[in-house]
């Protein structure tokens, strides 16, 4: 309920600003018209009662000065109010943009959240289908987090999750979208990436975690592994559900075997695979 109210509040504020701007415009013009009518009502009898020719320009000047001042003041007031409203509106739009960014982020890791992951995956799949391009999705699950929480506490578990997120951010490209899907589950959307590129990223992540402790203090050094599943378009399904199902099954098989899955291309051309891994990391 609160989320729904927060979602509609920026729209209501923008509508309110539009109404206020329209009201100020009406007030400014009504004020100018009122000054004109009052000045004309006073000036007309004076002109009608004038007996000498020199009185006409004097009366016109006396009436024209307040009329011009009133119109000018109304115009200046209107411009100032519109400027303030526009500035307020700009600040509001900036705040809305910041709130949208916050709403798409996982607070603990700084990665994108589950909702943003699915939104981007759907958009990129549609784009890949339209352009006949490739798309890869990588799912990963941290192994043994429950045991870490039970033995060392949830604080250490949170550090492990945060460090894994940092490793993911380190190895993905600028065009990739990494997200924490919940708990110890993560996902990466990789536009324009084929099966080899997806396996290359998986291998890089695996190798990084083999040499980097996810938690370390004076008494404890925790080496943690992740189970990784890979799927993509068009080789892993024609819909996002199919791709996620494929990647989830691949991740489960990886968890059971406790080793990184190797695609047939990686086995057939090991030298070429190494080059592809480096190309992926460098973002070429």
Measured in residues, the chain has a length of 284
What is the C-alpha separation between 124 and 243, in angstroms, rounded? 13
- Kindly state the average pLDDT of the residues 107-120: 92
- Kindly state the average pLDDT of the residues 135-155: 93
Q: In the Cβ-directed half-sphere of 74, how many Cα atoms lie within 13 Å?
A: 19
Range name among 18-27, 154-163, 177-186, 275-284 with the lowest pLDDT average: 275-284
Q: pTM above 0.85?
A: no
Helices (H), the chain: 2-49, 55-103, 114-131, 145-152, 154-171, 195-211, 240-257, 264-268, 270-282
Looking at domain 114-282, which of 3.30.460.80, 3.40.30.10, 3.30.470.30, 3.30.70.270 is its CATH number? 3.30.70.270
Range name among 42-56, 231-245, 255-269 with the lowest pLDDT average: 255-269
- Kindly state the average pLDDT of the residues 171-177: 94
* CB-count exposure of residue 77 (10 Å: 0-12, 13-18, 19+): middle
Give the per-residue pLDDT at 66. 65
What is the C-alpha separation between 137 and 240, in angstroms, rounded? 9
**Is-contact 128 233, C-beta < 8 A?**
yes
Residue 279 vs residues 169, 201, 229, 253, 264: alpha-carbon distances, Å:
17, 10, 21, 27, 19
Does the structure show a pLDDT above 80 at 267? no
The alpha carbon of residue 252 and the mean position of all alpha carbons in its chain are separated, in whole angstroms, by: 31
Residue 134: DSSP 8-state? -
CB count in 10 Å sphere of residue 135? 26
For tokens 């958009």, name the residue: 123
Does the structure show a pLDDT above 50 at 52? yes
Beta bridge partners of 247: none
Pairing mode of beta strands 185-191, 221-222? unpaired
Nearest to 273 by CA among 282, 263, 258, 283: 263
Q: Rounding to the nearest 10 degrees, give the CA dihedral for residues 141, 145, 211, 106.
A: 60
**Is-contact 162 220, C-beta < 8 A?**
no
């Amino acid at each position: 309920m609160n989320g729904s109210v927060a979602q509609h509040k920026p729209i209501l504020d923008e509508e309110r600003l539009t109404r206020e701007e329209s009201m100020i415009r009406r007030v400014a013009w009504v004020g100018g018209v009122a000054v004109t009518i009052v000045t004309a009502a006073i000036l007309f009898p004076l002109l009608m009662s004038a007996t000498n020719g020199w009185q006409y320009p004097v009366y016109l000047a006396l009436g024209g000065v307040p009329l011009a001042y009133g119109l000018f003041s109304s115009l200046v007031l209107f411009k100032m109010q519109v400027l303030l409203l526009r500035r307020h509106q700009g600040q509001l739009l900036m705040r809305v943009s910041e709130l949208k960014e916050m709403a798409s982020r996982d607070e603990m890791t700084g990665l994108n959240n589950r909702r943003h992951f699915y939104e981007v995956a759907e958009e990129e799949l549609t784009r890949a289908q339209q352009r006949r391009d490739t798309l890869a999705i990588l799912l990963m699950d941290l192994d043994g987090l429950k045991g870490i929480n039970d033995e060392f506490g949830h604080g250490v578990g949170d550090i492990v999750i945060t460090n894994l997120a940092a490793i993911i951010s380190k190895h993905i490209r600028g065009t990739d979208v990494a997200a924490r899907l919940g708990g110890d589950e993560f996902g990466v959307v990789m536009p324009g990436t084929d099966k080899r590129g997806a396996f290359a990223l998986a291998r890089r992540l695996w190798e990084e975690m083999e040499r980097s402790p996810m938690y370390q203090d004076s008494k404890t050094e925790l080496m943690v592994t992740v189970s990784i599943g890979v799927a993509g378009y068009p080789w892993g399904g024609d819909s996002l559900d199919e791709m996620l199902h494929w990647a989830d099954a691949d991740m489960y098989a990886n968890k059971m075997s406790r080793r990184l899955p190797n695609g047939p291309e990686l086995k057939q051309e090991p030298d070429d695979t190494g080059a592809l891994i480096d190309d992926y990391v460098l973002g070429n």
